[in-house]
Amino acid sequence: MRYHIAHAVRGRLRVRYPPWWLLERRKDVETGLRALPGIRRVEGSPLTGSVQIDYDPIRVAETALVTKLHALTRALDPSAAPGAARRPEPLTTRQAPLLSVVGTGAVLGLSLLPLSAPLLGGLVLATGLPSLAHAARALGRRRLNGDVLEASTLALLALRGNFTAAALLTWLRALGELVVARSVVTTRRSVRDLVPSWKGHVRRADDPARAVAVTALRAGDVILLGAGEQLPIDGTVVEGQALVNQQTMTGEAMPVERHVGDPVFAATRVEHGQIAVRVDRVGLDTAVGRIISAIEDAAGQKSDIQVFAETLADREVKRTLTLAGLGAALSRSVDAGVAILVADYGTAARIGIPTVVVTSLRRAAEEGILIKGPRALEALARVNTVVFDKTGTLTSGSLVVSRVVAYGPARDEEEVVRLAAAAERGFHHPIARAITHIATMRRLTIPKSTAPAVSAGLGVILNVGEREVLVGSRRFMNERGVSLEGAATDEAAAHRAGGATTFVAVDDRLTGLLVLHDQLRPDARTAVEALRARRMRDVILLSGDHPEPSRVIAETLKLPHHYAGLLPEDKAALIRRLRRRGLVVAMVGDGVNDALALEEADVGIAVPGGAEVASEAADVVLLSGGLDRVVRALDLAHEAIGGVRRTLQIAAGANLGVVGLASLGLARPMASILISHGVTVGAALATAVGRQGRPTGDQGRRHKNVR
**Cα–Cα dist 321/148, whole Å:** 11
Spell out where 106-229 has E strands.
201-204, 207-213, 222-225
**Cα–Cα dist 75/32, whole Å:** 10
Dihedral sign, Cα of residue 559, residue 563, residue 567, residue 572: negative
Quick one: angle between helices 117-127 and 95-111, nearest 10?
Answer: 160
Q: How far is CA 107 from the centre of its chain?
A: 42
From the candidates 147, 335, 389, 619, which is the catalytic residue?
389
Please enumerate, as own/partner, the contacts of 73-77 that have beta carbons within 8 Å and a separation of 24 or more. Answer: 73/1, 73/2, 73/3, 73/17, 73/29, 75/32, 76/25, 76/28, 76/29, 76/32, 77/2, 77/21, 77/25
Q: Are strands 12-16 and 4-9 parallel, antiparallel or unpaired?
A: antiparallel
Give φ, ψ of 468 to 5 degrees.
Answer: -95, 125
The burial of 419, by beta-carbon neighbours within 10 Å (0-12 exposed, 13-18 middle, 19 or more buried), is given as buried
Q: Please say if 28 is a catalytic residue.
A: no
- Grouping H, G, I as helix, E, B as strand and the rest as coil, residue 309 is helix
Of 451, 402, 458, 450, the C-alpha closest to 429 is: 458
User: CA angle at residue 63 from 59 to 66, to 5 degrees?
Assistant: 110
Of 236, 280, 241, the C-alpha closest to 259 is: 241
According to DSSP, residue 211 is labeled E
Tell me if 291 sits within 8 A of 248, measured CB to CB: no
Q: Which residues of 309-335 are buried (b: 16+ CB within 10 A; e: fewer)?
A: bbeebbebbeebbebbeebbeebebeb
Give the helix, strand, coil percentages of the chain, each rounded to 5: 50, 20, 25
How far CA 147 is from CA of 103, 154, 447, in Å, comes to 20, 11, 82
Q: Which residues of 468-483 are buried (b: 16+ CB within 10 A; e: fewer)?
A: ebbbbbbebbeeeebe
Q: How far is CA 561 from the centre of its chain?
A: 27
Q: Are strands 395-406 and 451-456 parallel, antiparallel or unpaired?
A: unpaired
**Cα–Cα dist 652/348, whole Å:** 9
Q: Are strands 500-506 and 509-520 parallel, antiparallel or unpaired?
A: antiparallel
Q: Are strands 509-520 and 585-589 parallel, antiparallel or unpaired?
A: unpaired
Of 204, 220, 272, 268, the C-alpha closest to 241 is: 272
Instruction: List, in sequence order, the alpha helices (H) in 342-412.
Output: 346-347, 353-366, 374-382
Tell me if 176 sits within 8 A of 131, measured CB to CB: no
Give catalytic residues, as residue numbers.
389
